[in-house]
A and B are shown apart, each in its own frame.
Chain A
Amino acid sequence: MKEELKIRTVTGPDGVKFEVDPITDYFCDAPPTVQPAAYTKVIEKFFNWARSESLWVLGFGTGCGAIEMRPLMTPRYDAYRYGVQWRATPRQSNLFIVSGYLSTKTLKRVIRSYEQMPSPKYVMGLGSCTINGGMYWDSYNTIKQLDQYLPVDTYVTGCMPRPEALLAGFEALKKIIRSGNGEGANEYAENFDWYKANQKSVISDWDMPDYNW
């Protein structure tokens, strides 16, 4: 465990000494619960439509696919037309695009960012690396199948997919959300132990709470 995560005694500005346990004091590690669609069918349908038309992407470029997202913000492809916007913080985003290969070191940050996003949230796997490892199929340091670690709603194939493919992926995701099947966050909560076991099996330096949000 890292030095800054160990229990230590701190002197406050008023001279009072108290003990700090970073893992329990700084994080909320209560496991996620299944969040039911709490409204009547009509309202839930309306909300699903609103969710599908307002996809806020977390600006987290994990692999080489991140370069394919830049043309989407600029005049040539302009994804803003379709209600897709980029947000700088996980708290305000609801779509995580895992753009390409994911090293185990990045996976740790991806999990933390994913868990901080408010539910309902969606994950899109971009490129063949997230499906079967792609050209990194025999690498010791990257994960091969993204859906072993996070609940993936849709994949966009290619190495690398063109921005058009990504736009088509957004449209496919919108259909999934509108049909009421975009329940990845609940899937994660239901199979929490399985996901955690998979995550811990590849991350060797697990020095964070099981669930941090």
Chain B
Amino acid sequence: MEFEWIQIPYSLLTLFIVVNFGFLMTAFIQKIAARVGRRHGIPIWQNYIDMFKNYGLRTSISHGVMFYLGPVFRLTGGVGLLMFVPTIYGSVMFSNMSFAGDLILALYFVFFGTLGMALGAGESGSPHAAIGITRGLSQVTTAELPFALAVFSVALQYQTLSVTDIVAAQQGGILTWTLFTNPFAVAAAMLSFLGSMMRSPFDVVVAPQELPIGPPTEYHSSFLAMMQTNRAIYPIAKIVIFMNLFFGGATNWPVFFLKVFLIYLFSAFVGVVFPRFRVEQSIRWFLVWALPLGILAIILV
């Protein structure tokens, strides 16, 4: 597949759909979590209002260049991740730029936003941000280990690093999904997925009760609004990777919405049931429970 100019508006359309879906879905998930606590929860459009309000604030201060670039890096991470994997398999309109990048590039983008955020929050000078970043990076690093092993296992299984080819190999019905052909890799990756979604039990990084919300402590107005936009894009972009690698991808939008929602719901369900881990507990948990599964997946393949 070659690059054509028409793919740029097509990709922007994908981005538009994903942003709106992201805002509505995260609000819906928050409502589900609220119902577990017998609350009504926020209105479904609350995330839009919060974002408009933050863009509409009149004053903002900066702590330097990296402080500006932190949210920009984070948004780049989310958008880049989305752009280099096929959102809808087999569709010319919604395959984005997936011919240009492979799985390794996607792995880089998963980490890119976190690193940008670390530099930006570090420059804000708030000690809470520094503590949050330290916790966040150590937790995300250990959570990435089983995921990386699972990705290698899948790449070995299909003998390719191209996401499109991996989805293509799973198109023969539900039993051809990686979920059934390589269950240990999927198990390791899904445990690692919990760690990267910033939900309980792995949300000590941004826990408002423990330290004033960690890395974004100093971020406000349009900086924060940009990060909120990314909060809508990034989880979906990451789920798209999981969906493509392990759950057979999606060939149309309804299937896409359903699969993304169910994968997200997995982390939400775990989140409302289990209390928060401290950071050393979560690191130990990943190393003890998720990492052996990843190693097993590599050995069995």
Contacts and interface: CB of A to CB of B under 8 A. Distances in A.
A213 B61 contact: yes
Nearest to B224: A92
Interface in A59-94: 59, 74-75, 78, 80-81, 83, 85-89, 91-92, 94
B37 A83 contact: no
Interface stretch (A45-53, A124-132, A203-211): A45-53
B278 interface: no
A59 B213 CA distance: 12
Contacts, number: 85
A80 B42 contact: yes
A81 B61 contact: no
A120 interface: yes
A92 B220 contact: yes
Given A51-B56, A54-B46, A118 B220 contact: yes
A28 interface: yes
A81 B42 contact: yes
Contacts of A141: none
Nearest to B46: A83
Contacts of A118: 57-60, 220-221
B165 interface: no
B41 A89 contact: no
Interface in B26-81: 34, 37-43, 46, 49-50, 52-53, 56-61
Given A46-B52, A53-B49, A91 B220 contact: yes
Determine chain B's interface SS by DSSP, over half rule. Answer: loop
B39 A80 contact: yes
Which one of A50, A86, A185 has the greatest number of beta carbons of chain B within 10 Å? A50
Given A35-B58, A47-B52, A88-B212, A75 B219 contact: no
A50 B224 contact: no
A36 B217 CA distance: 27
A38 B37 CA distance: 41
Contacts of B224: 92
A156 to B, nearest CB: 22
Contacts of B37: 74-75
Given A28-B61, A118-B58, 17 more contacts: A35-B59, A47-B52, A53-B49, A54-B49, A54-B53, A56-B50, A75-B37, A75-B38, A80-B40, A83-B42, A87-B213, A88-B208, A88-B217, A89-B212, A89-B218, A92-B219, A119-B57
20 contacts: A46-B52, A50-B53, A54-B49, A74-B39, A78-B34, A80-B39, A80-B40, A80-B41, A81-B42, A83-B42, A83-B46, A87-B213, A88-B213, A91-B219, A118-B57, A118-B60, A119-B57, A119-B58, A185-B59, A213-B61
Interface of B: 34, 37-43, 46, 49-50, 52-53, 56-61, 128, 208, 212-213, 216-221, 224
